Structure 1
Amino acid sequence: MANRQALKDLQIRLAERLQLARTEGVAPSWLAVEVGANHYLFSMAQAGEIFPWVSTHPVPYTKSWFLGVANLRGGLFGVVDLESHLTGPAAVPRRAAPNKESMLVTLNASLEVNCALLVDRLAGMRNQKAFTAFAPKLPESPDYFGNRYTDHAGVVWQEIDLQLLAQQSSFLTLGA
């Protein structure tokens, strides 16, 4: 019950910040998430809804990072362990949420991919003012990585283009 109240409080705070941003004329640019030890930014235009962790129904003969399918608000979504997909298979595949702050972030419906990404923690919304510096992506980075931004605390945030991620053959090929 406490988790539901915490999620509801988070959603209320996010809605209030969105409304404040609209009235001030400054729209947030990214949804900030933490995955493992990494910090990522998802474009608000490409991110969809946020859901608390729900158990998935496993799908046999799929990659270890594909956790299965879940019913989210009446829709069937494939659930991807973003950490395992980005960094390689974990020593022990994560078939359950690793902590109580874990959330599922769906891709925007306009991307036409019914997919939810497992993230370890939501860190709120960010716009350009939240960062003190930026650098272009590293040359060896995947195509779907964008710029890197450094916040006031010195934390580096990696931008991920969810549309490009969803178009990668490695992301679309689920078979093991």
Structure 2
Amino acid sequence: MAKRLSLREFQEDLVRRFAEARSGDRRALLGVRAGRENWLIDLTDSGEILPVPPLAPVPLTCDWFRGLANVRGTLFSVVDLSAFHQGSPVAPAGPARLLLVGLRHGVNCAILVSRAAGLRSADEFQPDDESADERPWVQARLRDARDHLWLKLDVPRLLADRRFLQAGLD
């Protein structure tokens, strides 16, 4: 039977791993999956990652704007990263996670992803120069050892993008 960890041990381990990553450890990227795409986010731009809390829908918004989440008394707007890129909507249950990406940039914004893929090292990837990506928040296209495509997310560019900021229906 698999070893069971208490929630406290799990959180302490996660905090330790994030601290190591932020202090120059070689694993400085967080990997997530959103729909059919793999994304890499610099740990300096990523925030807390947590199970999806109940979401309060907001009327007259785009389908990719999933609503508001209350995280310890603070409201965060929630964007489904897959649906924002015209992919399948992420079901906010099971392995799905909420990544609080805007705190460092003064924005209470979270992205909904299908699952977390763990901490990664930039050394694990090679540039993919086969084609360019038209999305300005895609900082780089990378391939791992198994030839899977990963997109490096430029969080400040995403948060500043006009389309991302305009969640209301026209």
Query: Following the alignment from structure 2 to structure 1, what is the Cα–Cα distance between the partners of residues 142 and 31?
Result: 11
Written as runs of structure 1 = structure 2, the 5 A alignment for 1:1-176 is: 11-18=11-18, 25-87=24-86, 90=88, 96-97=91-92, 99-131=93-125, 133-135=126-128, 138-176=131-169
Q: Please tell me whether the aligned partners of residues 21 and 28 of structure 2 are also in contact (alpha carbons under 8 angstroms).
A: no
Q: Percent identity?
A: 33
Which amino acid is 1:146 matched to? Q
- CA positional deviation for 1:51: 1.5
**Given the superposition, is the C-alpha separation of residues 10 and 171 from structure 1 closer, same or farther in structure 2, using an over 3 Å criterion?**
farther
Q: Please tell me whether the aligned partners of residues 31 and 124 of structure 1 are also in contact (alpha carbons under 8 angstroms).
A: yes
Gapped regions of structure 1 (runs ≥ 5): none
Aligned to 1:48, the other structure's residue is in SS state coil
- CA positional deviation for 1:108: 4.0
Provide TM-score, normalisation by structure 2.
0.84
Provide TM-score, normalisation by structure 1.
0.81
Between Structure 1 and Structure 2, which shows a larger proportion of helix residues?
1
Aligned to 1:77, the other structure's residue is in SS state strand
Task: Let me know the Cα RMSD of the aligned residues.
Answer: 2.5
Q: Please tell me whether the aligned partners of residues 66 and 174 of structure 1 are also in contact (alpha carbons under 8 angstroms).
A: yes
Query: Following the alignment from structure 1 to structure 2, what is the Cα–Cα distance between the partners of residues 115 and 79?
Result: 6
- CA positional deviation for 1:70: 0.9
Query: Following the alignment from structure 1 to structure 2, what is the Cα–Cα distance between the partners of residues 137 and 80?
Result: 29
Kindly tell me the number of residue pairs found equivalent between the two proteins. Answer: 165
- CA positional deviation for 1:113: 1.3
